A and B are shown apart, each in its own frame.
Chain A
Amino acid sequence: MLNSPKMKWRSILSAVLTIALAGTLLAACTSGGNKNSNDAPTPVGNSPGTNTQSNDGGNGEPTGEPKEFRFTIGGEPSSLDPNLFTDSQSYIVGIGLYEGLFRLSADGTSQPALAESYEVSPDNTYTFKVRQGAKWTNGDPVTAHDFEYSWKRILAPETAADYAYMLYYLENAETYNAGEATADQVGVKALDDYTLEVKLQNPTPYFVDILAHQSYWPVNKNAVEGKPDWATDISTLVTNGPFRMTEWQHGGKIVLTKNPEYYNADKIHFDKVTILLVEDNSTVLNLYQTDKIDWIGAQAGAVPTDQVQQLIQSGEAVVQPVASTYYYLFNTTKKPFNNVKIRKALSMAINRQAIIDNVTKANQQPAYGLVPPSVKGADGKTFRELYPDNYFEENIEEAKRLLAEGLQEEGYSRFPETTLLYNTSDGHKAIAEAIVDQWRQALGIEVKLANMEFSTFLEVRSAQQFDIARSGWGADFNHAVNFVYDLLHSTSGNNDGRYKNMQVDDLINSALATSNDKEAIDKLAQAERIAIAEDMEVLPIYYYTTVMMVKPGFVNVASDFGGQLSWIYGDKQ
């Protein structure tokens, strides 16, 4: 029967169909992995490393074992275009790839990098001399023109950059960003290849601190112009920093190797840096314990919360303060939180140390102010050292008294129904429940809890549709103004509690106008004192810490003041 022509044709057809079916599946299998990635493996089972398209052939490898540093970040960097990214992941990778006029050192000070020297004139003009000899990875020299191009690009309305406002210190920058001025009017100009003239709108004594921020890094015009996706792939990425990218497996891994043409190559000790993209904290810890990575902490991986105390006890993990504050925000436009006595009562009735010991458990510090301990002050001291946050004390009796008086003033016989809002997370939930319980025990009041997904939460909070809301604020750059202005000034977009006190506004305004940094910091401290000691605008809870683990032998890898991994000058011994 199988010999008849009909049957033969049928069996051939069926065989062909089967193969076609299997073939499409397998073809999708291999092509899917290869399509736009330069280095994904083709057949199952090949290590991605062996199939990599390398940009940097092994040139002059030093004898002896190459020094490698491996860590993780929580996900793919949102962008490696310095004009565009805002997240820690991109920042930690970016500090290796790019170099600006200044660079943030691990102790939180802004150190000259590509700025060889600078002068300040009384009319708020900075003249920077750009170091000669620095090169981009495509061979172009790094010039002052690159800075002018980059800064104008981030301010251009078409770029739609989130961090454009970081450059509003420049003359006409804000109007240009609003589309009401031309690029030529912006206060940055390359006088020649290596001289950059910057005109500021107002005297800004801490301008040099801000210059280390990624929004002030240069980009290469030839690489960028006309190619909006230049930073999304290793083949089009052009950088000028101490490391260059040699492998990028989207969502999986980034590999950087030392840039031999970096002007300060002697200070760079790592030959290779491998950054794995891992979201889950337990997996990160497992990788560390199986010796696949060398570091956890400071936004480069995190220790799972339930393991923190145990690892601190065993000495494997250390804790360091970070420039972020955790606090609750009062909606001062809504009764009864327009009443200062009620706000003070709620703030004084909680036990911060108890929360730190029993809930957050990472050796945080109780907060009585807004500016965290690692933010710098003046004369080599931190802000908090100069101006201790002794704005108030926890005192239950006093709190009860204030609450009663406040309620009477507002005409309430009992504490009105109040909701505490936080964004959905186990951590925030635990803290909120603990605080509500503390209020119940100390003041006899019942506060409800509500949680929302993050984006929704932000919308609701910005629209003042809350009673009390959880909040956190981290430093963008190392200066107290980043906290005091952004959170306390009545016109600030981040002042979601709509706090308004003319005295505070005046102090902040005059701080922004002086050219003497020490004077400015003093005024900011006064503003903070009024806002908290007198007005209790927010309910500070704790200053963040970061928990870090590092394999023995690694030096100069640490958390910077803002809690992000500083690794450029690290070494393995």
Chain B
Amino acid sequence: MMQKGIYTRYIYPFEFFTIPKRVVMVPMIRFIVQKLVFMIVSLYVLVTATFVLMNAVPGSPLQREKATTPQIQANLEAHYGLDKPLIQQYGIYLKNLLKFDLGISMKKRFYSVNKIIADSFGYSLRLGIVSVITSVVAGCVLGIIAALHHRKFLDHLAMVLAVIGLAIPSMVMAPLLQYLLAVKIRLFSVAGLDSPLDYVLPTIALSSVSIAYIARLIRTTMTEVLHADFIRTAKAKGLPGHLIVWRHALRNSMLPVVTYLGYLIAGVITGSVVIEVIFAIPGMGKFFVQSVVDRDYPLIMGITVFYAVLLMVCRFLADIAYALVDPRLRNFKKKVA
């Protein structure tokens, strides 16, 4: 039944992933182009801002505890192009960026930033994907349980667990897990990602916050949805509880989670510094901090650009995902949430 107002109709199961061609396709293309243009402009602003900030901070990548002679300093600066005026350095950098060349690291001689990212991203990505899947699954389960038993014991229990996950920072949880489950009881290995079992501890530490967050999101949204008319209709029709949840309630509650996932995925697959340091995972998380400490300009820029692109792509995919998940949002003339 088409309604005039928005959000008063629910999603029929078969509408999941169907795209009414005429309504959506043309605005969809315009939508994509708009977003792409916006992404490129944002990226440009980001690169410029990072470049300015980076050069404004005192300290230089050529700083060493032992003083080097002025001649050696001059040689180093010439080698890295740091003796050119800033505008020129900026121009050179932009030019290389267009060729997808992120430059050569100043701290690790002769390693290109592309190589550094390529070598390390794989580990962060793998752990990140496992963590996202775990977060979604565990978060949904927790959230559904809470919503189904709203205001009763199980709801409170689930929410307490969620808050614990939110409250304990990863730098406390990670060493604790490592000590209890890898040293005291030799269930898992202390460090590295060599075998599937090695993923367990870092994933728990990494996902605890997002599980909590997703659980709360699902709980809030689903509690509302469960009070809707169509759910009562489904119950009246005799549909068993789990099917109500799976086919009807969950889909209608997923939207906020999709928004959150957009940011979560980008953030998690680029690696968490704390988790990677404690579990000795050679991912790219540490470069976010290390490169700034080292004033390694090309690496700072490269990492920032990489993360920004990833984030924008994920947000973009999330926007597309709305349209796929919720036919009510396929009217692209209205700005999507």
Contact = CB atoms under 8 A, between A and B. Distances in A.
B45 interface: no
Given A81-B109, A456-B59, A33 B18 contact: no
B31 interface: no
A313 interface: no
Interface string B64-86: 11111101100110111000000
A29 B125 contact: yes
A278 B111 contact: no
B119 A36 contact: yes
B293 interface: yes
B108 A33 contact: no
A76 B76 CA distance: 22
Contact of A276 (B79, B278, B280): B280
B149 interface: no
A462 interface: yes
B194 A251 contact: no
B186 interface: yes
Interface string A263-289: 000000000000011111011001101
A34 interface: yes
Nearest to A11: B18
B72 A28 contact: no
B280 A47 contact: no
A282 B277 CA distance: 10
Interface stretch (A37-45, A62-70, A125-133, A336-344): A37-45
A160 interface: yes
Contacts of B115: 36, 232
B89 interface: no
Contact of B280 (A179, A283, A476): A283
A6 B20 CA distance: 9
B295 A455 contact: yes
Contact of A290 (B111, B120, B186): B186
A251 B69 contact: no
A458 interface: yes
A391 interface: no
A174 B67 CA distance: 15
B137 interface: no
Contacts of B130: 44
A193 to B, nearest CB: 29
A231 B21 CA distance: 56
A10 B19 contact: yes
Nearest to A10: B18
A35 interface: yes
B122 A35 contact: yes
A252 B121 CA distance: 13
A86 interface: yes
Interface in A4-47: 6-7, 10-11, 13-15, 17-18, 21, 25, 28-29, 31-37, 40, 44-45, 47
B20 to A, nearest CB: 8
B293 A286 contact: no
A551 interface: no
A416 interface: no
Nearest to B20: A10
Nearest to A289: B183
A277 B280 contact: yes
Nearest to A49: B194
A45 B196 contact: yes
B110 A79 contact: yes
B267 to A, nearest CB: 15
Given A17-B324, A47-B195, A164 B72 contact: yes
Nearest to A462: B67
Contacts of B195: 45, 47
A165 B69 contact: yes
Contacts of A458: 59, 63-65
Given A10-B19, A14-B18, A454-B293, A160 B79 contact: yes
A33 B123 contact: yes
A494 interface: yes
Given A29-B126, A47-B195, A79-B109, A35 B118 contact: yes
A278 B189 CA distance: 14
Nearest to A168: B69
B182 A286 contact: yes
16 contacts: A1-B14, A10-B20, A29-B122, A33-B122, A33-B123, A47-B194, A158-B79, A250-B119, A283-B280, A287-B191, A289-B183, A290-B183, A453-B293, A454-B293, A458-B63, A459-B60
Given A32-B121, A278-B280, 7 more contacts: A35-B118, A78-B109, A162-B64, A174-B69, A229-B112, A289-B183, A458-B65
7 shortest interchain CB distances as A-B pairs: A251-B282, A33-B122, A493-B67, A455-B59, A32-B122, A14-B17, A160-B79
